[in-house]
Protein backbone atom coordinates (compact mmCIF):
# COMPACT_ATOMS: atom_id res chain seq x y z
CA UNK A 1 0.00 0.00 0.00
CA UNK A 2 1.11 3.54 -0.72
CA UNK A 3 1.47 6.08 2.09
CA UNK A 4 1.18 9.69 0.90
CA UNK A 5 2.14 12.67 3.08
CA UNK A 6 1.33 16.31 2.38
CA UNK A 7 3.47 18.33 4.80
CA UNK A 8 2.15 21.86 5.25
CA UNK A 9 3.18 24.65 7.59
CA UNK A 10 0.35 23.92 10.01
CA UNK A 11 -0.73 20.33 9.39
CA UNK A 12 0.50 17.10 7.84
CA UNK A 13 -2.19 15.27 5.88
CA UNK A 14 -1.64 11.53 5.46
CA UNK A 15 -3.41 9.06 3.21
CA UNK A 16 -3.14 5.36 2.48
CA UNK A 17 -3.91 4.10 -1.03
CA UNK A 18 -4.71 0.61 -2.19
CA UNK A 19 -4.21 0.91 -5.91
CA UNK A 20 -5.85 4.18 -6.95
CA UNK A 21 -8.36 4.18 -4.08
CA UNK A 22 -7.67 6.20 -0.96
CA UNK A 23 -8.77 4.08 2.00
CA UNK A 24 -7.80 6.08 5.10
CA UNK A 25 -6.72 9.64 5.90
CA UNK A 26 -5.36 11.37 8.99
CA UNK A 27 -4.19 14.82 10.06
CA UNK A 28 -1.50 15.72 12.58
CA UNK A 29 0.12 18.98 13.55
CA UNK A 30 3.35 19.97 11.85
CA UNK A 31 6.17 19.99 14.40
CA UNK A 32 9.69 20.58 13.12
CA UNK A 33 11.16 19.27 16.38
CA UNK A 34 9.53 15.83 16.02
CA UNK A 35 12.26 13.18 15.65
CA UNK A 36 12.29 10.44 13.04
CA UNK A 37 11.47 7.84 15.71
CA UNK A 38 8.56 9.92 17.00
CA UNK A 39 7.26 10.33 13.47
CA UNK A 40 7.48 6.58 12.85
CA UNK A 41 5.68 5.87 16.12
CA UNK A 42 2.90 8.30 15.18
CA UNK A 43 2.47 6.67 11.79
CA UNK A 44 2.43 3.24 13.39
CA UNK A 45 -0.32 4.36 15.76
CA UNK A 46 -2.51 5.64 12.91
CA UNK A 47 -2.02 2.46 10.92
CA UNK A 48 -2.73 0.20 13.89
CA UNK A 49 -6.10 1.92 14.29
CA UNK A 50 -6.96 0.42 10.90
CA UNK A 51 -5.38 -2.98 11.43
CA UNK A 52 -2.17 -2.21 9.55
CA UNK A 53 1.50 -1.70 10.32
CA UNK A 54 4.51 0.05 8.81
CA UNK A 55 6.42 -3.18 8.34
CA UNK A 56 3.70 -5.35 6.81
CA UNK A 57 1.56 -3.01 4.77
CA UNK A 58 3.41 0.11 3.60
CA UNK A 59 5.27 -0.65 0.37
CA UNK A 60 5.74 2.89 -0.90
CA UNK A 61 6.00 6.45 0.44
CA UNK A 62 5.49 9.71 -1.47
CA UNK A 63 5.87 13.15 0.10
CA UNK A 64 5.24 16.79 -0.76
CA UNK A 65 6.70 19.09 1.88
CA UNK A 66 7.08 22.84 2.34
CA UNK A 67 8.91 22.40 5.67
CA UNK A 68 12.57 21.46 5.10
CA UNK A 69 13.15 20.24 8.67
CA UNK A 70 10.24 17.82 8.39
CA UNK A 71 11.45 16.67 4.99
CA UNK A 72 14.80 15.76 6.55
CA UNK A 73 13.02 13.91 9.38
CA UNK A 74 11.00 11.86 6.89
CA UNK A 75 14.14 10.98 4.92
CA UNK A 76 15.81 9.79 8.12
CA UNK A 77 12.73 7.83 9.20
CA UNK A 78 12.53 6.14 5.81
CA UNK A 79 16.16 5.09 5.95
CA UNK A 80 15.62 3.52 9.38
CA UNK A 81 12.22 1.89 8.97
CA UNK A 82 11.65 1.15 5.27
CA UNK A 83 13.54 -1.08 2.80
CA UNK A 84 12.74 1.40 0.00
CA UNK A 85 13.49 5.05 -0.71
CA UNK A 86 10.68 7.63 -0.54
CA UNK A 87 9.61 9.69 -3.52
CA UNK A 88 9.90 13.29 -2.35
CA UNK A 89 8.52 15.83 -4.80
CA UNK A 90 11.25 18.23 -5.89
CA UNK A 91 13.90 18.77 -8.53
CA UNK A 92 14.61 15.57 -10.43
CA UNK A 93 11.22 13.99 -9.70
CA UNK A 94 8.98 13.49 -12.72
CA UNK A 95 5.60 15.20 -12.36
CA UNK A 96 4.61 15.76 -15.98
CA UNK A 97 3.75 19.38 -15.11
CA UNK A 98 5.65 22.09 -17.01
CA UNK A 99 6.15 25.07 -14.68
CA UNK A 100 5.87 28.32 -16.63
CA UNK A 101 6.98 30.75 -13.94
CA UNK A 102 10.00 33.03 -13.69
CA UNK A 103 11.65 30.74 -11.13
CA UNK A 104 10.18 27.21 -11.20
CA UNK A 105 12.26 26.12 -8.19
CA UNK A 106 10.37 28.48 -5.88
CA UNK A 107 6.99 26.86 -6.62
CA UNK A 108 5.95 24.70 -3.66
CA UNK A 109 5.74 20.95 -4.19
CA UNK A 110 2.13 20.90 -3.03
CA UNK A 111 1.15 23.41 -5.73
CA UNK A 112 2.75 21.34 -8.50
CA UNK A 113 1.01 18.22 -7.20
CA UNK A 114 -2.32 20.06 -7.05
CA UNK A 115 -1.87 21.16 -10.66
CA UNK A 116 -1.25 17.58 -11.77
CA UNK A 117 -4.30 16.25 -9.92
CA UNK A 118 -6.55 19.06 -11.16
CA UNK A 119 -5.56 18.57 -14.80
CA UNK A 120 -5.99 14.80 -14.50
CA UNK A 121 -9.50 15.29 -13.10
CA UNK A 122 -10.69 17.99 -15.51
CA UNK A 123 -8.64 17.39 -18.65
CA UNK A 124 -8.53 21.12 -19.22
CA UNK A 125 -7.82 24.48 -17.63
CA UNK A 126 -8.34 24.59 -13.90
CA UNK A 127 -7.99 26.77 -10.84
CA UNK A 128 -7.14 25.09 -7.56
CA UNK A 129 -8.13 27.06 -4.46
CA UNK A 130 -6.26 25.47 -1.56
CA UNK A 131 -7.49 26.63 1.85
CA UNK A 132 -4.55 26.14 4.21
CA UNK A 133 -2.18 28.31 6.21
CA UNK A 134 -2.27 30.48 3.11
CA UNK A 135 -5.07 30.52 0.55
CA UNK A 136 -3.34 29.46 -2.67
CA UNK A 137 -4.81 29.86 -6.13
CA UNK A 138 -2.97 27.56 -8.56
CA UNK A 139 -3.69 28.10 -12.24
CA UNK A 140 -3.41 25.25 -14.75
CA UNK A 141 -3.55 25.79 -18.52
CA UNK A 142 -5.49 23.75 -21.07
CA UNK A 143 -2.22 21.88 -21.72
CA UNK A 144 -1.68 20.97 -18.06
CA UNK A 145 0.97 23.62 -17.44
CA UNK A 146 1.36 25.41 -14.11
CA UNK A 147 1.20 29.01 -15.28
CA UNK A 148 1.27 30.82 -11.93
CA UNK A 149 -1.12 31.75 -9.18
CA UNK A 150 -2.14 33.92 -6.29
CA UNK A 151 -1.16 33.63 -2.62
CA UNK A 152 -3.31 35.28 0.04
CA UNK A 153 -3.31 35.03 3.84
CA UNK A 154 -5.34 32.06 5.07
CA UNK A 155 -8.20 32.48 7.51
CA UNK A 156 -6.21 31.18 10.47
CA UNK A 157 -3.31 33.53 9.71
CA UNK A 158 -5.70 36.45 9.31
CA UNK A 159 -7.43 35.60 12.58
CA UNK A 160 -4.14 35.24 14.46
CA UNK A 161 -2.96 38.61 13.18
CA UNK A 162 -6.25 40.23 14.18
CA UNK A 163 -6.21 38.82 17.70
CA UNK A 164 -2.53 39.56 18.31
CA UNK A 165 -2.89 43.21 17.33
CA UNK A 166 -6.11 44.04 19.17
CA UNK A 167 -6.44 44.10 22.93
CA UNK A 168 -10.18 43.52 23.25
CA UNK A 169 -10.95 41.01 20.48
CA UNK A 170 -11.07 37.35 21.46
CA UNK A 171 -10.49 34.22 19.42
CA UNK A 172 -13.56 32.76 17.75
CA UNK A 173 -14.59 29.51 16.13
CA UNK A 174 -14.11 29.57 12.36
CA UNK A 175 -17.75 29.09 11.42
CA UNK A 176 -20.23 31.29 9.58
CA UNK A 177 -22.59 33.45 11.67
CA UNK A 178 -26.32 33.42 10.87
CA UNK A 179 -26.19 36.87 9.23
CA UNK A 180 -23.51 38.95 7.55
CA UNK A 181 -24.18 41.79 10.00
CA UNK A 182 -23.00 40.44 13.33
CA UNK A 183 -25.10 41.08 16.43
CA UNK A 184 -22.11 40.52 18.70
CA UNK A 185 -18.35 40.93 18.52
CA UNK A 186 -17.94 37.20 17.96
CA UNK A 187 -20.41 37.18 15.06
CA UNK A 188 -18.83 40.32 13.58
CA UNK A 189 -15.38 38.69 13.58
CA UNK A 190 -16.77 35.46 12.13
CA UNK A 191 -18.51 37.42 9.39
CA UNK A 192 -15.32 39.23 8.46
CA UNK A 193 -13.28 36.06 8.37
CA UNK A 194 -15.73 33.72 6.60
CA UNK A 195 -17.63 36.04 4.29
CA UNK A 196 -14.53 38.16 3.72
CA UNK A 197 -12.58 35.11 2.58
CA UNK A 198 -15.48 33.94 0.40
CA UNK A 199 -15.67 37.35 -1.24
CA UNK A 200 -11.91 37.35 -1.81
CA UNK A 201 -12.10 33.90 -3.41
CA UNK A 202 -14.97 34.87 -5.70
CA UNK A 203 -13.24 38.08 -6.78
CA UNK A 204 -9.93 36.37 -7.60
CA UNK A 205 -11.47 33.32 -9.28
CA UNK A 206 -13.71 35.58 -11.40
CA UNK A 207 -10.68 37.53 -12.61
CA UNK A 208 -8.73 34.35 -13.40
CA UNK A 209 -11.67 32.82 -15.27
CA UNK A 210 -11.88 35.98 -17.39
CA UNK A 211 -8.28 35.34 -18.48
CA UNK A 212 -8.71 31.55 -18.73
CA UNK A 213 -12.10 30.75 -20.31
CA UNK A 214 -13.52 27.37 -19.44
CA UNK A 215 -11.42 26.92 -16.30
CA UNK A 216 -12.91 24.69 -13.59
CA UNK A 217 -12.45 25.99 -10.04
CA UNK A 218 -11.63 23.22 -7.55
CA UNK A 219 -11.54 23.79 -3.80
CA UNK A 220 -9.40 21.72 -1.46
CA UNK A 221 -7.74 22.03 1.95
CA UNK A 222 -8.86 21.65 5.53
CA UNK A 223 -10.82 24.91 5.71
CA UNK A 224 -12.56 24.55 2.34
CA UNK A 225 -15.85 23.19 3.80
CA UNK A 226 -16.15 26.29 5.98
CA UNK A 227 -15.88 28.75 3.10
CA UNK A 228 -17.15 27.21 -0.13
CA UNK A 229 -20.85 27.14 0.87
CA UNK A 230 -20.60 30.94 0.72
CA UNK A 231 -18.75 31.10 -2.61
CA UNK A 232 -20.41 31.38 -6.02
CA UNK A 233 -17.41 30.60 -8.22
CA UNK A 234 -16.27 27.18 -6.92
CA UNK A 235 -17.30 24.38 -9.28
CA UNK A 236 -16.35 21.34 -7.19
CA UNK A 237 -14.65 20.28 -3.96
CA UNK A 238 -11.91 17.63 -3.86
CA UNK A 239 -10.83 17.29 -0.21
CA UNK A 240 -7.94 14.89 -0.98
CA UNK A 241 -6.72 16.55 -4.18
CA UNK A 242 -3.11 16.87 -3.01
CA UNK A 243 -2.95 13.24 -1.90
CA UNK A 244 -4.36 12.15 -5.27
CA UNK A 245 -1.69 14.21 -7.00
CA UNK A 246 0.98 12.55 -4.88
CA UNK A 247 -0.26 9.14 -5.95
CA UNK A 248 0.03 10.20 -9.58
CA UNK A 249 3.58 11.46 -9.03
CA UNK A 250 4.50 8.19 -7.35
CA UNK A 251 3.20 6.22 -10.34
CA UNK A 252 5.36 8.31 -12.67
CA UNK A 253 8.52 7.63 -10.69
CA UNK A 254 8.38 4.04 -9.47
CA UNK A 255 6.64 0.70 -9.70
CA UNK A 256 5.01 -0.69 -6.54
CA UNK A 257 3.50 -4.06 -5.78
CA UNK A 258 0.30 -3.81 -3.70
CA UNK A 259 0.02 -5.88 -0.56
Q: Which residues are catalytic?
A: 110
DSSP string, 196-215: HHHHHHHHHHHHHHHHSTTP
Between CA 217 and CA 210 the distance in angstroms is 12
Q: b/e string for 112-147 if b means 16 or more Cβ within 10 A?
A: bbbbbbbbebbebbbbbbbbbbbbbbbbbbeebbbb
Whether the CA torsion 146, 1, 225, 221 is positive or negative: it is negative
Helix (H) or strand (E) holding 17: strand 11-18
Distance of CA 146 to the CA centre of its chain: 16
**Parallel/antiparallel/unpaired status of strands 11-18 and 21-29:** antiparallel
Q: Where are the beta strands (DSSP E) in 103-248?
A: 126-131, 134-140, 146-153, 216-220, 236-237
Furthest-apart CA pair in the chain: how many Å? 59
Write the CB contacts of 199 (distance below 8 Å, at least 6 apart in sequence).
none
- Name the phi and psi angles at 236, rounded to 5: -160, 155
Amino acid sequence: MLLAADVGNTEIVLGVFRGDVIEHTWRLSTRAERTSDEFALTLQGFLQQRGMSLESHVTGLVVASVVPDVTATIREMSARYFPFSPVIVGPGVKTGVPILTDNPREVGADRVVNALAAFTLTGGPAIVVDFGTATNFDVVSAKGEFVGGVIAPGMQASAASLFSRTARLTRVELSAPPHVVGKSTVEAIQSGLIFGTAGEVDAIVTRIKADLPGAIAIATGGLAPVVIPHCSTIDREEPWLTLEGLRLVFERNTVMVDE
